[in-house]
Chain A
Amino acid sequence: MTMTDLIASNVVAAPTPDRRRKLLQKLLRGERPYMLYIAFVILLVVFSLSSPWFLSVENFLNIGRQTTLVSIIAVGMTFVIVARQIDLSVASTLALSGMAAALAMSHINNSWIVGAVAGLGTGALVGLLNGLLTTQLSIPSFLVTLGTLSMARGLAMMVTNTKPVIITNETYFAIFGEGTFLGMPVPIAWTLAAMIAGILLLHYNVFGRRIYAVGGNPTAALYSGVNTKWVTTSAFVLTGVLAGLAALVLSARSHAARPDVVQGMELDVIAAVILGGCSLFGGRGYIMGTLFGSLIIGTLNNGLVLLGVSSPMQLVIKGAIIVAAVAFTKR
Chain B
Amino acid sequence: MVDGITKSFGGVRALRAVNLEVRAGEVHALLGENGAGKSTLIKILSGVHAFDSGAIEIAGVPVAFDSPAKSREAGIAVVYQDLSLVESLSVGDNLMLGREPRTRFGFVRKRELMAQAGAFLAQLGIPLDTRATVGSLPFAYRQMTEIAKALMGEVRLLILDEPTSSLTSDEVRILFNAIGKVTRRGVGVIYVTHRLNEVFEISQRVTVLRDGANVGTFVTAETDMKRLVNAIVGTERLRSTPARAERRAARSLDSPPVLSLSSVSNDRLRAVDLSVLRGEIHGLAGLIGSGRTEILETIFGLRPVESGTIEIDGKRWLLKSPADAIGRGIALVPEDRHVQGLVLDHSIERNVTLSRLPYFSRWGWMQQRAANRRAETAIGKLAVKAQGASSLVRTLSGGNQQKVVFGKWNDPRPLVLMLDEPTVGVDVGAREEIYGVIRHAVSDGTGVLVVSSDLVELIELCDRISVIVSGRVARTLVRGEIDDAEELHHLLQMFQASSQDAFDTGVELPA
Check B178 for interface membership: any CB of A closer than 8 A: no
Tell me what chain A mostly uses at the interface: helix, strand, loop, or mixed: helix
List the one stretch of A111-119, A164-172, A224-232, A242-250 in contact with chain B: A224-232
Task: Enumerate chain A interface residues (CB-CB to B < 8 A).
Answer: 1, 4-5, 8, 200, 204-210, 212-213, 216-217, 219-227, 283-284
Complex-state Cα separation, A216 to B350, whole angstroms: 11
**Which of B326, B327, B357, B361 has most A Cβ within 10 Å?**
B357
| Cβ contact within 8 Å between A213 and B343 | yes
Complex-state Cα separation, A328 to B244, whole angstroms: 58
0/1 interface trace, chain B 328-364, chain A, CB 8 Å (1 if under): 0000101000011111111000100111011001001
Interchain nearest-CB distance for A281 vs B (Å): 9
Nearest chain-B residue to A200 (Cβ)?
Answer: B365
0/1 interface trace, chain B 168-201, chain A, CB 8 Å (1 if under): 0000000000000000000000000000000000
Asked if A224 meets B365 with Cβ closer than 8 Å, knowing A209-B357, A213-B354, A217-B343, the reply is: no
Chain A residues whose C-beta falls within 8 Å of the C-beta of B334 in the assembled complex:
223
Task: Enumerate chain B interface residues (CB-CB to A < 8 A).
Answer: 300, 302, 321-323, 325-327, 332, 334, 339-346, 350, 353-355, 357-358, 361, 364-366, 368, 390, 408
Chain B residues whose C-beta falls within 8 Å of the C-beta of A4 in the assembled complex:
368
Interchain nearest-CB distance for A25 vs B (Å): 14
| Cβ contact within 8 Å between B350 and A213 | yes
CB < 8 Å neighbour of A224 from B354, B361, B364, B390: B354
Nearest chain-A residue to B361 (Cβ)?
Answer: A206
CB < 8 Å neighbour of A283 from B325, B343, B361: B343
CB < 8 Å neighbour of B344 from A206, A209, A217, A222: A217
Complex-state Cα separation, A212 to B366, whole angstroms: 14
- Please, could you name 22 A-B residue pairs with CB atoms under 8 Å apart, sorted by A? A205-B361, A206-B361, A206-B365, A206-B366, A208-B366, A209-B350, A209-B353, A216-B344, A217-B339, A219-B339, A219-B340, A220-B340, A220-B343, A222-B322, A223-B332, A223-B334, A224-B326, A224-B355, A225-B326, A225-B327, A225-B355, A283-B343
| Cβ contact within 8 Å between B322 and A224 | yes
Complex-state Cα separation, A147 to B459, whole angstroms: 57
**Which of B302, B323, B332, B358 has most A Cβ within 10 Å?**
B323
Complex-state Cα separation, A5 to B392, whole angstroms: 14
CB < 8 Å neighbour of B343 from A8, A200, A221: A221
| Cβ contact within 8 Å between B323 and A220 | no
Nearest chain-A residue to B322 (Cβ)?
Answer: A225
Complex-state Cα separation, A226 to B358, whole angstroms: 11
Chain B residues whose C-beta falls within 8 Å of the C-beta of A222 in the assembled complex:
302, 321-322
Complex-state Cα separation, A150 to B339, whole angstroms: 36
| Cβ contact within 8 Å between B350 and A224 | no
